[in-house]
Amino acid sequence: MTTTALPTAAALALGDDALVLSHRLGEWAGHAPVLEEEVALANIALDLLGQARVLLSTVGDEDELAYLREERAFRNLQLVEQPNGDFAHTIARQLYFSTYQHLLYARLAGGDGPFAGLAAKAVKEVAYHRDHAEQWTLRLGDGTELSHERMRRACDALWRFTGEMFRPVEGLDVDSEALERDWLESIGEVLRRATLSVPEGPRSGAWTAGAGREGLHTEPFGRMLAEMQHLHRSHPGASW
């Protein structure tokens, strides 16, 4: 790893996003609707885990950070900790997040900041994640009556978690407003082509009780962490 010190807050934010979403996607193992999707989701999870390891290692010991931090110390977006729900929910979450991550990493890769090296590498991987989510959004939205309805429900349900992505993060040198404009434009275009409408309603609000970037998380996150950390906490220092 290059020794350039990354800004801690930003590295934790991006690293925790990748780690938490990776774990959520990993929960599909053994449950995905078809074998190809099982493999695709696991591969996307693996890419995200790789990004998380690079980012968290710049902050401290990756295992301690992943397995021994309490809920309030995590800085991930509330969006990525949302439960998998049905397949449409997983795809909507992935569409919202991958589009954000792709646009963000493309900007970071184009600059000369401390994240440029990782971003230049990760942006190429994330392009495939984004493409995967867009293809499924089209297929489900413009599919059967049932798939359309489920995709609509999923996009609506997660909409309220999308505002947080564009709050400025300390140490992350990007124009949040321009990023948000590009994101809205892209998501609007995908949803339109998928015969879905852009959800109405606020994209953040008092109900969020703050935000994931500040360590405030939604109720399902605690249970996810309990499962993710259980083995490491029960058998500290175990190896095989």
Q: Which residues bind other proteins (CB under 8 A)?
A: 1-2, 36-37, 39-40, 42-44, 46-51, 53-54, 102, 105-106, 109-110, 116-118, 120-125, 127-128, 130-132, 134-135, 138-139, 142, 186, 189-190, 193
Q: Find the shortest distance in angstroms from Cβ 176 to other proteins.
A: 18
Pick between residue 95 and residue 165 the one whose CB is nearest to other proteins: 95
Helix (H) or strand (E) holding 60, with range, is none
The whole-angstrom separation of Cα 115 and Cα 50 is 15
Q: Say if CB 167 and CB 77 are below 8 A apart.
A: no
Q: Find the shortest distance in angstroms from Cβ 31 to other proteins.
A: 16
Buried b (16+ CB within 10 A) or exposed e, 104-123: bbbbbbeeebbbbbbbeebb
Q: Find the shortest distance in angstroms from Cβ 219 to other proteins.
A: 29
Distance of CA 9 to the CA centre of its chain: 17
Pick between residue 134 and residue 217 the one whose CB is nearest to other proteins: 134
Pick between residue 9 and residue 127 the one whose CB is nearest to other proteins: 127
Record the tokens describing residue 21, joined without a space: 């979403």
Q: Find the shortest distance in angstroms from Cβ 186 to other proteins.
A: 7
Pick between residue 15 and residue 78 the one whose CB is nearest to other proteins: 15
Pick between residue 47 and residue 81 the one whose CB is nearest to other proteins: 47
Residues 6 or more apart whose Cβ sits within 8 Å of residue 130: 95, 98, 99, 101, 102
Closest CA to 25 of 82, 76, 99: 82
Number of helices (H), then strands (E), in the chain? 9, 0
The whole-angstrom separation of Cα 106 and Cα 18 is 16
Pick between residue 61 and residue 70 the one whose CB is nearest to other proteins: 61
Helix (H) or strand (E) holding 63, with range, is helix 62-67
Q: Find the shortest distance in angstroms from Cβ 111 to other proteins.
A: 12
Q: Find the shortest distance in angstroms from Cβ 48 to other proteins.
A: 7
Pick between residue 130 and residue 160 the one whose CB is nearest to other proteins: 130
Q: Find the shortest distance in angstroms from Cβ 102 to other proteins.
A: 7
The whole-angstrom separation of Cα 2 and Cα 11 is 14
